[in-house]
C-alpha cells in the first residue's frame, strides 16, 4: 500500500483549484448570457421536442423564456407545454411548421397575426432548430402590420 506524498496533495489542490475556477467562469458566462437575453426587447424561448412512443414530435416543452416573452404572454411558460399554452397553433398549421423545422433542421421565418388568449398582435417569428428542439425569437410588429394594412387600403381606393 502506498501513501500519498506531499507532491500528490499539491497536485490535487491545483486540480481542485482549477476546477473551481472553471466552474466560476461557467457561472459568470451563464450570468452574462442571461443578462443579454433578458435585456432584449424581443421574445425568446427555447423549446425541447416531446416525442410520442413512435418517435414523432407530439409537443414542445418550454425550457427557457426570456423576460420579454414572459411579459408578452403575461406569465412564465418555463416547464409548460407549447400546445397547453397556445392550442391554436395546431389547427392553423404553425405547430406542423415547427415540427418540420426540427425534422429538416432548417430555420423558419414568418409573420403571424396571433389573436388568441387575450393577445391581439402580429409577430415576426424566427425559429431555428437546436438540439432536437427550437430557439424561437419573436418581435411584436403590430404597428408595422397596421401601417401596411392602411397603405394597402389606400392603394386599393
Average pLDDT over residues 112-140: 88
CB 125 within 8 A of CB 47: no
| Shared domain check, 24 and 10 | yes
- The whole-number pLDDT of residue 38 equals 64
The torsion angle over the Cα atoms of residues 12, 16, 17 and 18, rounded to 10 degrees, is: 100
| Shared domain check, 3 and 80 | no
- The whole-number pLDDT of residue 40 equals 67
| 143 SS3 class | helix
Task: Indicate whether 33 belongs to any domain.
Answer: yes
Domain that holds residue 32: 1-39
| Shared domain check, 136 and 64 | yes
Asked if the model's pLDDT at residue 29 lies above 80, the reply is no
| Shared domain check, 58 and 21 | no
Specify which residues 96 forms β-bridges with. none
Split into its structural domains, the chain has a count of 2
Average pLDDT over residues 1-8: 66
65 or 28, higher pLDDT: 65
| Shared domain check, 26 and 88 | no
**119 band by pLDDT with thresholds 50, 70 and 90:** confident
Task: Indicate whether 155 belongs to any domain.
Answer: no
pLDDT digit string, tens, across residues 49-70:
999 999 999 999 999 999 999 9
Residue environment code for 34-61, b if the CB has 16+ CB neighbours within 10 A, otherwise e: eeebeeeebbbbbbbbeeeeeeebebbb
Task: Indicate whether 46 belongs to any domain.
Answer: yes
Task: Indicate whether 120 belongs to any domain.
Answer: yes
- The whole-number pLDDT of residue 130 equals 95
pTM of the model: 0.73
| Shared domain check, 138 and 69 | yes
pLDDT digit string, tens, across residues 75-87:
899 999 999 998 9
Task: Indicate whether 153 belongs to any domain.
Answer: no
Amino acid at each position: 500500500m502506498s501513501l500519498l506524498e506531499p507532491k500528490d496533495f499539491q497536485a490535487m489542490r491545483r486540480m481542485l483549484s482549477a476546477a473551481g475556477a472553471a466552474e466560476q467562469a461557467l457561472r459568470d458566462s451563464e450570468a452574462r448570457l442571461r443578462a443579454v437575453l433578458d435585456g432584449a426587447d424581443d421574445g425568446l424561448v427555447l423549446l425541447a421536442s416531446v416525442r410520442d412512443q413512435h418517435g414523432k414530435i407530439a409537443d414542445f416543452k418550454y425550457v427557457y423564456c426570456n423576460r420579454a416573452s414572459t411579459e408578452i404572454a403575461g406569465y412564465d411558460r418555463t416547464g409548460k407545454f407549447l400546445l397547453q399554452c397556445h392550442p391554436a397553433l395546431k389547427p392553423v398549421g404553425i405547430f406542423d411548421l415547427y415540427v418540420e423545422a426540427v425534422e429538416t433542421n432548417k430555420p423558419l421565418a414568418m409573420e403571424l397575426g396571433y389573436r388568441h388568449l387575450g393577445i391581439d398582435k402580429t409577430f415576426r417569428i424566427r425559429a431555428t432548430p437546436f438540439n432536437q428542439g427550437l430557439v424561437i425569437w419573436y418581435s411584436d410588429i403590430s404597428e408595422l402590420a397596421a401601417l401596411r394594412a392602411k397603405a394597402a387600403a389606400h392603394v386599393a381606393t
